[in-house]
Structure 1
Amino acid sequence: MINPPGLLISAPSSGTGKTTVMLGLLRALAEDGLTVQPFKSGPDYIDPAFHRAAARRASFNLDSWAMGAPLLGAIAAQAKGADIVVAEGSMGLFDGVAKPGELGHGSSAETALRMGWPVVLVLDVGGQAQSAAATALGFRMYNPDLRFAGVILNRCASARHERLTRLGMERAGLPVLGVLPRRGDLTLPERHLGLIQAVEHPDLESAIAGYAAFLRAHVDLEAIKRAASSGPMGPSSAALPRPPAQRIALARDAAFSFTYPHLLEGWRAAGAEILPFSPLADEAPAPDADLVWLPGGYPELHAGTLAAATRFLTGLRKHAETRPVHGECGGYMALGEGLIDKDGTRHRMAGLLGLVTSYEKRKFNLGYRRAELLADMPGFSAGTALRGHEFHYSSIVEQPDAPLARVFDAEGAEGPQTGSRRGHVTGTFFHLIAEASA
């Protein structure tokens, strides 16, 4: 079997407008009656929610550094039944880790090659004209095995600017699939981890409809459809991650929302029950849950509310007396003794771990992680190697508990953020993507 035809939307760097193009393209194609499957290349856990809103179909991450071929194939197979696939790249097209692991560099180009998708390069042509073609030509020639569908020229200032830029692209032999005039109202709101969450956007549906109308007016949708192609279908969903328990109480609200979609899909496909609850609404986890899982998110923005959520905290502590609790990044911080916000105010958290973290003095933590478990955590036994990604600005003030794992970055350097364990409670700063052998 063959996957539906697809494309990967990428750019020379972040900040060129590819997310706006992605959302507008997803909705415009859906409005044309196509079933559109979105994907995100790389470990971003915010963009898939925007993709889902635009395409009205779940989006999944594909990560060639963290995922082996069976898992990549199982996730790609989620496109079954779609008419076309549109994937969004991360950072610049060829940006990945400096040292390849046993699986790869993790670049968007690597994803496109594995999946057989040609690339649509979104170029910010502000401040240049024919010179933009040299940039595009360099990207096309950097890896001759990677196919290019063409370019979309973004932030074009005038008709003359467009004519000059097109001349360069014609000389370089690069098809121009669209020209987007400069507009200041097409950006999405951001905060320190990138875009705000989709659930926080004040009028996301109206914004996406506007992007679609803008793309429809300035992009050759038929040429984009014709350019799409793909490779062989991957294995069945049997390769998706297995659930760590049968009944999983999962925190889901504006403070805890960063869970990779392929994990949840794998849990559900294996028959696990996911029981969502909202700590911000002071809801306790289901009392009959086998496991409580606190994902990452923005607890630092809601620390006062969480500290006052007595039903949530009481239920969480009671569960931890006899059954496992696990937290990732923001969820890990909420399991700790205290969280110090950017103003220096300390808020008492669940106290199930001794961890104290602070946003008063921000410390940038970003990158892939490979963890070798020193003890069991939900779903995995001691000695298992996991792959994940870490992205936060908090610093550790206290971490008195036993380490959960030895944690290494993508280049093999061991780091101090080992996670913690105490009784039935575990936590990590990295967001789990896959078992290292998956």
Structure 2
Amino acid sequence: MPASLVISAPASGVGKTTLTLALARAWRKRGLNVQCFKSGPDYIDPAFHAAATERASVNVDSWAMDRSTIAHLVSRGGDADVVLAEGSMGLFDGVAARGVSGTGATADIAEMLGWPVVLVIDPSGQAQTAAAIAGGLRDYRAGVRLAGVVLNRVASPRHEDLVRRALNEAGIKVFGALPRHAEISLPKRHLGLVQAEEQAEIGKLIDEAARFVAEHVDLDAVLHSAGQWSPQTVANGLNVRPPGQRIALARDAAFSFVYPHMLEAWRAAGAEIVPFSPLADEAPDASANVCWLPGGYPELHAGKIAANARFRSGLRAFAETRPVHGECGGYMVLGAGLTDADGISHEMAGLLGLETSFAKRRMHLGYRLAELAAPMPGHQPGARLRGHEFHYSTILAQPDTPLAVVHDATGAVIAETGSRRGHATGTFFHLIAEDR
């Protein structure tokens, strides 16, 4: 049975991803097969996990997914030696209203699967108080078991000693302490980490993180603290229908935010995915029967997208007879225009009337529940779709017929309804699952 652990923290930005990647690579170097998962809706981290383990990672999400879906997804770890689930935000952070099987908190996954938690604690600006925080997290929810703590960014040996003593007195195991080390800092941009596929040196960075962590953390003690987990046999898998039999999928640095479990579900249902690159001025494959533009960073490439006439004309021709759907950045590219950070407006595909601006930035973040008023590829009117929205662009105009009534996690109706016109549809949320 695989050894299983959840890597979490009191808050975001503490070092969960770095520790997860380092542990995964260090155990991989020891000859162990490591399977990673991402708790929550972050669509960037799974690619880093795959780079560290050479196994595909997927998201598990208690707000958007039911228990059988989560069980189905994590069952891929049944043949691994070690299973690591990287949390999001703080251990108990989720939304106020319960979703399908929880609030989206990492603690939901830890309790549901019985996986112990390793906390990453950054004691910068404090000492013994770190033990109070760890103790509070340990005792907050009875069904969540704390395995121990890894300290990150300790300032000095004296600082480490103060924190270790306090944690030991609280009965909390310390697996190791990491001093500050700039060489393993992962670069970031406005939507999170710079994507793994954009970093040529990502392998070397993960190797250095693994070396550094192995030097300062007792890897054997961490492994011995893990739970022994046996995957469930699940009758029902993902409730996901592919948008078509042959799917032209935009895939490059501007169009990369698509959940791995969605692509796997499409393929498992018999669909064929044909990637193309709008940044390379490629049009969707003429033999495809649907085109899907995922989110990404079109705002960073707006000028190039606007100049790529073959892509835009090919997309327009495709949409004359077949459905085209865009998510978030893909939705923005289906629109009439996109204003970049410098205030320069660029003409987009014009399949929808949507106009957006990255110059007028305002964060839009959170879970979304959409009730479709009209069909979109793979889903019929009345379907309840669960997804996640995260972007900084402002809507200047959204003149087309709304695609759905969209609620946030509290049930409030929001303005980002999506649009439809002809064969084109688009949403600002990234689809995670459809309610059964």
TM-score (norm 2): 0.98
Q: Which amino acid aligns with 1:11?
A: A
Shift of 1:231: 4.5
Question: Which region of structure 1 is more displaced relative to structure 2, 96-105 or 382-391?
Answer: 96-105
Shift of 1:104: 1.5
Q: Which amino acid aligns with 2:257?
A: F
CA contact (8 A) 2:184 2:206 kept: no
Q: Which residue of 1 aligns with 2:273?
A: 274
Is the partner of 1:406 in helix, strand or coil?
A: strand
Match of 1:119 among 114, 117, 120: 117
Q: Distance in 2 between matches of 1:101 and 1:180?
A: 36
1:144 aligns with 2:156: no
Q: Against the structure 1 CA distance between its residues 237 and 428, is the aligned structure 2 distance closer, same or farther, given a 3 Å change threshold?
A: farther
Q: Which residue of 1 aligns with 2:314?
A: 315
Query: How do residues 206-225 of structure 1 correspond to structure 2 at under 5 angstroms?
Result: 206-225=204-223
Query: How do residues 247-326 of structure 1 correspond to structure 2 at under 5 angstroms?
Result: 247-326=246-325
Query: How do residues 186-197 of structure 1 correspond to structure 2 at under 5 angstroms?
Result: 186-197=184-195
Q: Against the structure 1 CA distance between its residues 201 and 187, is the aligned structure 2 distance closer, same or farther, given a 3 Å change threshold?
A: same
Q: Which residue of 1 aligns with 2:430?
A: 431
Match of 2:77 among 69, 76, 79: 79
Q: Distance in 2 between matches of 1:238 and 1:196?
A: 35
Q: Distance in 1 between matches of 2:169 and 2:69?
A: 41
Is the partner of 1:248 in helix, strand or coil?
A: strand
Q: Which residue of 2 aligns with 1:395?
A: 394
- Aligned-pair identity in percent equals 61
Shift of 1:297: 0.2
Is the partner of 1:150 in helix, strand or coil?
A: strand
Q: Which residue of 2 aligns with 1:339?
A: 338
Q: Which residue of 2 aligns with 1:37?
A: 35
CA deviation string 1:291-350 (max 9, x = no partner): 100000000000011011111112111110111100000000000010011111110000
Q: Distance in 1 between matches of 2:140 and 2:211?
A: 33
Runs of 4+ displaced beyond 6 Å: none
Q: Distance in 2 between matches of 1:35 and 1:215?
A: 18
Match of 2:20 among 8, 19, 22: 22
Q: Distance in 2 between matches of 1:6 and 1:266?
A: 25
Is the partner of 2:184 in helix, strand or coil?
A: coil
Q: Distance in 1 between matches of 2:100 and 2:25?
A: 37
Q: Which amino acid aligns with 1:376?
A: P
Shift of 1:431: 0.2
Q: Distance in 2 between matches of 1:410 and 1:33?
A: 42
CA deviation string 1:237-269 (max 9, x = no partner): 851223121111111100000000110111111
CA contact (8 A) 1:357 1:396 kept: yes
Shift of 1:144: 2.0
Q: Which residue of 1 aligns with 2:327?
A: 328
Q: Distance in 2 between matches of 1:389 and 1:323?
A: 26
CA contact (8 A) 1:70 1:234 kept: no
CA deviation string 1:111-150 (max 9, x = no partner): 1111111000000012222221111101101112211110
Q: Distance in 2 between matches of 1:192 and 1:237?
A: 40
Shift of 1:214: 0.5
CA contact (8 A) 1:70 1:235 kept: no
Q: Which amino acid aligns with 2:286?
A: P
Is the partner of 2:182 in helix, strand or coil?
A: coil
CA contact (8 A) 2:4 2:229 kept: no
Q: Which residue of 1 aligns with 2:202?
A: 204
List gaps (5 residues or longer) in structure 2.
none
Question: Which region of structure 1 is more displaced relative to structure 2, 153-162 or 230-239?
Answer: 230-239
Q: Distance in 2 between matches of 1:235 and 1:28?
A: 30
Q: Which amino acid aligns with 2:264?
A: E
Query: What RMSD in Å do the two structures reach over aligned CA positions?
Result: 1.2
CA deviation string 1:18-73 (max 9, x = no partner): 11111111100111111100000000001111111011111110000000112111
Q: Which residue of 1 aligns with 2:9?
A: 11
Match of 1:173 among 160, 171, 176: 171
Query: Number of paired residues?
Result: 435
